[in-house]
A = this chain, B = another copy of it.
Amino acid sequence: MDAVRLMAEQHVPGIVVCAPDGRPSRILPGTQVLRFVIPRYVQDDPALARVIGERAAEQMLGELQGRKVRDLLPDRPETDLAVANPDDTVLELAALMARLHSPLVAVVEDDRLIGCVTLPRVLDVLLARPSA
């Protein structure tokens, strides 16, 4: 619940999950986070989503309380992680985002997460007309 709230409040396009040693272990785009919030049976049945009332939707979200991000992750570890180094070029970040369909990239230095770059930020930089 905290993770989803963070995403909503900060309007970031996803979350980075780190292992205890500080390395990113998963990078979840927002649409994937939604898959945790909404039970599978609702995702698979659009008609069901339609008839679920506000009260039931609240209850559904209430069930998230106390559950950990770890519990919601599928077992299969991510093989192709959207991770970059501080030395990478903006074009490399952009190519990585395009290839992995990830609107955010984690930046790792010395095996630790030092920040994230989002897609709008990359577009900003790519499109900035250089003045010099």
Task: Give A residues with C-beta under 8 Å from B.
Answer: 1, 4-5, 7-8, 11, 13, 29-32, 34-35, 37-38, 42-44, 46, 49-50, 52, 54, 57-58, 61, 88-92, 94-103, 119-120, 122-124, 126-127, 130
Smallest CB–CB gap between A60 and chain B, Å?
8
* CB atoms of A49 and B11 under 8 A apart: no
* CB atoms of A98 and B43 under 8 A apart: yes
B residues within 8 A CB of A4?
A: 123, 127
B residues within 8 A CB of A95?
A: 38, 42-43, 46, 49
B residues within 8 A CB of A94?
A: 34, 37-38, 49
Copies of this chain per assembly = 2
* CB atoms of A99 and B43 under 8 A apart: yes
B residues within 8 A CB of A91?
A: 38, 42, 49, 52, 57
Smallest CB–CB gap between A95 and chain B, Å?
4
